[in-house]
Amino acid sequence: MWDNSPFPMPDGAKITGRRGDQYKVSVSMPFDPDGFYGRQCPECSMLFRVNADDYEALPEGLQLWCVYCGHNADHTEFWTDQQRERAMEAARALGAQIVHQGFTRMLRKSRSTARRGQVSISFRNRPPYPRPLPGIDEERLARTRTCAGCEIRYGVFGEHRYCPVCGRLPAATVAFDALQAETARLDALASLHDETKAVLREQGVFTRSWVDAVENVVGVVEALGSSVFHERVTDSEERLRGKGSVFQRLDDMADLFVSAGCPDVRALVGPSTWNRLTRTWAARHVFTHNDGVVDERYLRRVPGARTSLGQRLVISEAECREAIADATALCRALVDLGPSPAP
């Protein structure tokens, strides 16, 4: 199917204007089967998606954010490789016809001079027939998200920290997303075929993943606790002076919030959950700093531990999932903390 412009253009491309020898061409970009429009960061080159209806409703001069690295630029810079190739094919179709037209005009002049014996040119006047534009066939989305701020729907293919329209995501959104990712990783390992599981288990992949999850949930809580404290406590910098990595230390973090007039998160999550969290934090410490070998510090923090001094901790999948659930409860408690009283 071709349009009726001076130069035939393939379906999806149309000449919309001309100024002198410059042409303006509009090229349609198909959405994916889920109704999402591909975007690619010009800085880190990673792909993400934005709902087509939501995207079309955005203002023309939109500054877009890369959901992964936070690069911020005009939305027209976020073409995907396949979209760029589609546009270039339209440009090539127009360019070939402009060149053909130029040769045709030159041929007419040459024929007139050829009759005077000055030059002889042979030219077969067959206009180029534009090829169909390439389609867009990019990776399908597994999950879509909706920004709590601007409500735009988008999809990602990895860990992200930004909304494509709003920019930096709230710390709570990042925290809960990270905890869900840990659960998704465990679920993916559990769904593997038995033969694959056996190979990975023998190589220690499962136990390493469980240890990584324990270490990661501590990092998630640390980041959220720090963000909430800075947001809710007006004199946060003064209170944090000289306290080091206080948000890595569970009871110290709880005491810090209490001293600032906030509720005690230990009471909010309950004693049994807090005891398990204390054990998780102690486990994280020995895995991070002592290759999982139990030291005196661990035994002081976990009274009645089944392991002895010098033994190496072993984490089970059930304990790992429990740690994620407990960390999720703690993150909810942190988010629910009210602001401290005015000094």
Given this model, what pLDDT does residue 38 score?
Answer: 93
Residue 239 has pLDDT above 70, yes or no: yes
Give ∠ CA 277-281-282 in degrees, rounded to 5: 115
C-alpha distance from residue 343 to each of 53, 84, 259, 260 (Å): 47, 56, 12, 9
Q: How many domains does one find in the chain?
A: 1
The two structure tokens encoding residue 143: 């999950």
Residue 111 has pLDDT above 80, yes or no: no
The two structure tokens encoding residue 190: 């559990």
CB atoms within 10 A of CB 9: 22
CB atoms within 10 A of CB 122: 6
Sort residue 128 into left (φ over 0), alpha (ψ -120 to 50) or beta.
beta
CA pair distance 107, 164, nearest whole angstrom? 53
DSSP state of 79: -
Q: Which residues pair with 145 in a beta bridge?
A: 154
> Would you say residue 116 lies in a domain?
no
Q: Count the residues in the chain.
A: 343
Phi and psi torsions of 152, nearest 5°: -75, 145
- The half-sphere exposure of 306 on its side-chain side, counting CA atoms within 13 A, is 3
CA pair distance 151, 168, nearest whole angstrom? 14
Given this model, what pLDDT does residue 139 score?
Answer: 87
Contact 282/298 with Cβ under 8 angstroms?
yes
Rg, C-alpha atoms of the chain:
31
> Would you say residue 34 lies in a domain?
no
pLDDT band at 202 (very low <50, low <70, confident <90, very high): very high
Which residue, 300, 99, 316, is CA-closest to 210? 316
CA pair distance 101, 81, nearest whole angstrom? 30
Q: Check residues 328 and 59 and name the one with the higher pLDDT.
A: 328
Given this model, what pLDDT does residue 249 score?
Answer: 93
Beta strands in the chain (DSSP E): 13-19, 22-27, 36-40, 47-51, 63-65, 72-74, 144-146, 153-155, 162-163, 167-168
CA pair distance 94, 13, nearest whole angstrom? 10
> Would you say residue 92 lies in a domain?
no
Given this model, what pLDDT does residue 127 score?
Answer: 61
Q: Which of 34-43, 96-105, 192-201, 220-229 has the lowest mean pLDDT?
A: 96-105
Residue ranges making up the domain that contains 215: 171-336
> Would you say residue 176 lies in a domain?
yes
C-alpha distance from residue 107 to each of 93, 95, 96, 118, 340 (Å): 21, 18, 16, 14, 84
> Would you say residue 182 lies in a domain?
yes
pLDDT digits (tens, 9 = 90+) for 4-15: 456 777 777 777
> Would you say residue 207 lies in a domain?
yes
Given this model, what pLDDT does residue 343 score?
Answer: 45
CA quadruple 280, 281, 282, 287: dihedral sign:
positive
Contact 146/156 with Cβ under 8 angstroms?
no
pLDDT digits (tens, 9 = 90+) for 13-41: 777 777 766 777 677 788 888 899 999 99
Residue 279 has pLDDT above 50, yes or no: yes
pLDDT band at 100 (very low <50, low <70, confident <90, very high): low
**Percent of all residues in the chain with a pLDDT value above 70, rounded to a whole number:** 84
> Would you say residue 77 lies in a domain?
no
User: Which strands make up the sheet holding 36-40, listed edge to edge?
Assistant: 36-40, 47-51, 153-155, 144-146
Share the mean pLDDT of the chain: 86
> Would you say residue 298 lies in a domain?
yes
Classify 295 as helix, strand or coil: coil
